[in-house]
A and B are shown apart, each in its own frame.
Chain A
């Protein structure tokens, strides 16, 4: 493919793909908002579960404290 062919191909491509009318994109950078949303979503979801996990841990400690006989049984299965 020589230079003439390349120019011809370029013109044909430009004719086949007309320029986009109107705004080419948003007027502001959207990437920081995407990052903020990605960061916020797992934190919100995990905080609810964190309370549940803490409740389980407290229940486990209370059971072991009130029934020390359960300690060797639990260790046996660990």
Chain B
């Protein structure tokens, strides 16, 4: 099975965010059913389109670079939030759902996240990405014969 390795890498990369997506859609359903005045669906373009695309491309990049760098896939995946978080914050700011203040950021003009909490969240994202890429994406790569 040596044909189209980059296509298989892309498919292995988009698997996890594609599975998580229905979980995010439940937030939309809950909002619509309970008529919660928080337009969650406005920001869904990021987890629906941008995140899976970048995960797939990131796995393709790992497949291309691993023979040269010998970087473990977990560490490679842990770098992705460094790229994703500014893009996500920029997109949310442009869509008007994220306001950057002096003491923290405010989502949907309702949820205030102080800057002191952003650093632990960022570290948690790094840890989560490391574990997911090491165990899930790594397993998918092995299952598809590209690792």
Cross-chain contact A76 with B127 (CB below 8 angstroms):
no
Cross-chain contact B113 with A60 (CB below 8 angstroms):
no
Residues of B within 8 A of A75 (CB): 20, 23-24, 47
CA A35 to CA B113, docked complex, whole Å:
54
In the complex with contacts A60-B127, A76-B88, A77-B88, A69-B111 CB distance below 8 A: yes
Cross-chain contact B43 with A74 (CB below 8 angstroms):
no
Stretch from A3-11, A25-33, A51-59 forming part of the interface with B: A51-59
Chain B interface main SS type: helix
Residue A73, interface by CB 8 Å: yes
- Smallest Cβ distance from A60 to chain B, in angstroms? 5
Contact of B120 among A57, A67, A72 (CB under 8 A): A67
- B121-144 vs A, CB cutoff 8 Å, 1 = contact: the mask equals 100110110110011000000000
9 A-B pairs closest in CB distance: A56-B127, A63-B124, A70-B121, A78-B20, A60-B127, A60-B124, A77-B84, A60-B128, A73-B121
Residues of A within 8 A of B (CB): 53, 56-57, 59-60, 63-64, 67, 69-70, 72-78
